[in-house]
Structure 1
Amino acid sequence: MYLITGIPAAGKSTVAQMLAERLPQSVHVRGDQFRRMVINGRAEMTADPSDEALRQLRLRHSLTAKVIDQYFEAGFTVVAQDVILGDHLTQMIAQIRNRPLHVIVLVPQPKAIAARDAARPKTAYNAWEIDPLDRILQRETPRVGLWIDTSEQSPAETADEILTRATAETQTQEFNARTARHSDSSHTRLHR
């Protein structure tokens, strides 16, 4: 499972789609879809969010986590993406039951974000400014997973890097877990 985050216009949707297309029996879960499902009463996130906006954001993340788990349990490789910043990332990771989970944080430079946003048919930065969001990402988001500066990368290059680094990370974790189990069993045998 892959959970991709970053600020708007970081390339999350494009990279997630490319990554999902490279994986067998895969699904691309777009967390923002749950926000768009609210027809009346939607409270948008702003620089100073209301309690209702935060409640809806937590609901969106909870729904995304449940969908990720259900697809994974049905045998799919899941690539999910959304804007998940600050402590919300830790909460989201805790809500996803299954492992392995590869957390990917896309961190292009603000100038690259501005250029990408200007080139899109929709603009992400009407209620927000890029620099304050980047500060939230850099200062308040826990340093978990793979942080990738994609400023000079194409989406395809980013997808390649994610596959390479996530595979290496998983192999390292599996090796460390086997080594720890072996060490524990050796330690137990020596003290009997």
Structure 2
Amino acid sequence: MVEEVVVAGILAGQLRRAALVRGDVFRRMAVSGREELLPEETTEARAQLDLRYRLSALVAGEYAHRGWTAVVQDIILGDDLTRYVARVHTRPLYVVVLAPSISVVRAREAARPKAGYSAWTVEALDHALRAETPRLGPWLDTSQHMPAQTISANPDNLPAARLENG
């Protein structure tokens, strides 16, 4: 899942004036009392995740209102994606979902120096992505791409990524 961070950073770096808004930054700001979202979701963990999404949408909107392109990087699954899009009020709004295969995600996670999602299986996350997440914007199978290739492989996807009514 580190792939999205790299892809988002490369994309933001290629734009004239861009800010990279990483959702995980907002999670890490809670230094005490933080509850991680686990498969057995608690009310408090859900509230903290919703706060994280609200904050990143607000920050992205503030950058956009001041002439920046805000590139948001986060893992937003299921109906949370629809709610997130509704929180972003600036237009145009583009959504792209990176969807590599289970085997590729497993290999990428194994190569990381730290465990990214120890409470979640790759299969559970993949199921939440493919079975529960609405099909907004293009979904890119990035299994065979390096991060820079993900950006350059599909230049025709930009119009498809634009959400007209957000």
Q: How does 1:1-192 map to 2 (within 5 A)?
A: 9=1, 11-161=3-153, 163-166=155-158, 168-169=159-160
Contact 1:100–1:170 (8 Å) recurs in 2: no
More helix by share: 1
- Do 2:37 and 2:46's aligned partners in 1 also have CA atoms closer than 8 Å? yes
- Cα drift, residue 91 of structure 1: 0.2
Deviations 1:60-86 (A, max 9, x none): 000010000000011111111111000
Residue 169 of structure 1, CA deviation: 3.3
Of structures 1 and 2, the larger Rg is shown by 1
In structure 1, what is the Cα distance between the partners aligned to 2:154 and 2:63?
20
Number of residue pairs aligned between Structure 1 and Structure 2:
163
Distance 1:94 1:46, change over 3 A: same
Letter in structure 2 aligned against 1:34: F
Distance 1:118 1:70, change over 3 A: same
- CA drift of 1:164 comes to 4.0
| Structure 1: 5+ residue stretches without partners | 1-8, 174-192
8 Å CA contact 1:26, 1:76 repeated in 2:
yes
How far apart, CA to CA, are the structure 1 residues paired with 2:157 and 2:120? 32
Task: State how far apart, in whole Å, the 1-side matches of 2:72 and 2:24 are.
Answer: 10
* Secondary structure at 1:11 match in 2: helix
Shift of 1:121: 1.4
Give TM-score, length-normalised by structure 2.
0.93
Q: List 4+ stretches of structure 1 deviating above 2 A.
A: 161-164, 168-171
- CA RMSD for the aligned pairs? 1.5
Contact 1:26 1:79 (8 Å CA) reproduced: yes
Unpaired runs of at least 5, structure 2: none
> Separation in 2 of the partners of 1:56 and 1:130?
22
Identity %: 43
